[in-house]
Amino acid sequence: MSEYKLLINGDLVSTESSFPVINPASGEVFARGPECSPEQLNQAVETAQAAFPAWSKDLAARKKALVAMAGAIQANSESIAQVLTLEQGKPLQQAKTEIMGSAIQIQLAAGLELPVEVIQDNDKGLIEVRRKPYGVVATITPWNFPVSIAMGKVASALIAGNTVVLKPSPYTPLSTLLVGQAIQSALPPGVLNIITGSDPLGSHLTNHPYIRKIDFTGSVGTGKKVAAVAATDLKRVTLELGGNDAAIVLDDVDVDAMAKKLFWGAFTNSGQVCIATKRVYAHESVHQKLVQSLAAMADKVVVGDGMLPETRLGPVNNKAQFDRVSELVEDARKGGATIVTGGQPIGDKGYCYANTIISDVDDSARIVAEEQFGPVLPVLSFSDVDDAIRRANDTHFGLGGSVWSSNVDRATEVASQLECGTAWVNQHLALTPMAPFGGSKWSGMGYINGRWGLEGSTELQVINVKRG
Ligand code: NDP
């Protein structure tokens, strides 16, 4: 087995112990991740603290380093993608897209500016508002898009002048460590440190007194714990948390034209996307046809080992998540729902689960009320649009939502009533680095992407000069 190493102070570092990493397509251990010790965690944070003064002073050097970092990731994209598929499960082509997309995110961040706003400049004085980095940022990431989520956050933090300690999920640590290996010489030592390990490494990191900001993506439950820890030391936080996105399908849609798009809005990455469509409210006049169209897609799309060329959707990433998806489907079945297609695992090893469409299900069923985060979609019906909007909003989640119609103005009006960070019309899941992204209610605090992400990586400083 290859040895994977931490990145601390520009060095690739071995650890005394390690933990197993499982290929979700087989359910078997295929590699071991390095278990960061408490001393190594301290070194990583102290090193980031030491690197901060020089790094934060020179924007031109930061831009150059980020361009080099993006190039290094591109140059190593093939080997990183292979490992990403092995540990995460997604088809290889999609793993490559994730890695290349990460490099683009870094390039875009390298082009961002931190403009100084002049409030007053006259004979009485000069008042400027500047953006300053926080210091050391702890970046903590989940297992669904380990590289792209990490690199989006890291790029924003770094270009703003922060230094970073990055901790990926122990389910998917290796692709992030390979990124560390690739970019080792692109950045000055200590500017980006990558540590891996099992619980409670994340908690130890967030509690470290040198950490001034925590940038976290993961579940609502963990996000609340992170916010509570941050509060004790008034560390700043950005939280990108779970979602239970609703899609409202109006009576005037062309089902044949939109069903495929809706399917991919729900099943991309086997439903393991924070902003996947997780429940559908379809007008009663189109409900049956839509259910049949989605079921036909679900049956057609090949689920399997991401290394096989015919695979379009990979397994669920881990056993706990696989068990949760199975449990939610069984709960719906017992409650009288119709499992239109799917509803069972595929094969007798690994965590592949059949694409599942569920009908005749109530809003109160767990598969509707909770975030399933897997390849299962409940399709409910409505007769009154206001009622559909009320039901879509009747949740603590508020990440995304969508409205589907042949009449864009009508759909936009409905979309504007959704209580969520991003409301799409005739699409779902369409993220762009040019627009801010964040959740309302329990789906998050703060924003990423573009100048909004940069603002989240900085705090304001007013320079107030007396003249005359
Ligand atoms: P978790 O919340 O379980 O874990 C996320 C990360 O937090 C992991 O690295 C985990 O490491 C770490 N962690 C766990 N406990 C703590 C703690 N007390 N302090 C600090 N870090 C901790 O989420 P999942 O990995 O299961 O990811 C799935 C969730 O992420 C879904 O709810 C999904 O919707 C959400 N998500 C949100 C996105 C968004 O942009 N809004 C994007 C992608 C996913 P360890 O396992 O070692 O504890």
CATH number for the domain formed by residue range(s) 6-241+441-466: 3.40.605.10
CA of 242, closest atom in ligand 1? 34
Q: pTM of the full predicted structure? A: 0.96
Q: Which residues of the chain have pLDDT under 50?
A: none
Q: What are the DSSP E strand ranges found in 55-103?
A: none
Distances (CA, A) of 263 to 88, 168, 314, 426: 21, 29, 15, 12
Same fold, 6-241+441-466 and 245-425: no
The DSSP annotation for 210-276 comes to TEEEEEEES-HHHHHHHHHHHHHHT-EEEEE----EEEEE-TT--HHHHHHHHHHHHHGGGG--TTS
Mutate to test the pocket of ligand 1, among 36, 149, 213, 217 (most ligand atoms within 8 A of CB): 217
Q: Residue 155 C-alpha to ligand 1 middle, in angstroms?
A: 19
Hey, what CATH class is 245-425 in?
A: alpha beta
Judge whether 88 and 144 are in contact, CB under 8 Å: yes
Nearest CA to 248 among 439, 423, 372?
Answer: 423
Provide the annotated active-site residues.
Answer: 240, 274
Which 3 state secondary structure label does DSSP give 185?
coil
Which residues does a 6 A CB cutoff place in the pocket of ligand 1? 140-144, 149, 167, 169-170, 198-199, 201-203, 206, 217-219, 222, 225-226, 240-243, 274, 371, 373, 399, 439, 444
- Cα separation of 183 and 323, whole Å? 36
Tell me: the pLDDT tens digits for 84-101?
999 999 999 999 999 999
Among 167, 169, 317, the mutation site with the greatest number of ligand 1 atoms within 8 A of its Cβ is: 169
Domain residue limits, the chain? 6-241+441-466, 245-425
For residue 56, how many other CB atoms are within 10 A of its CB? 17
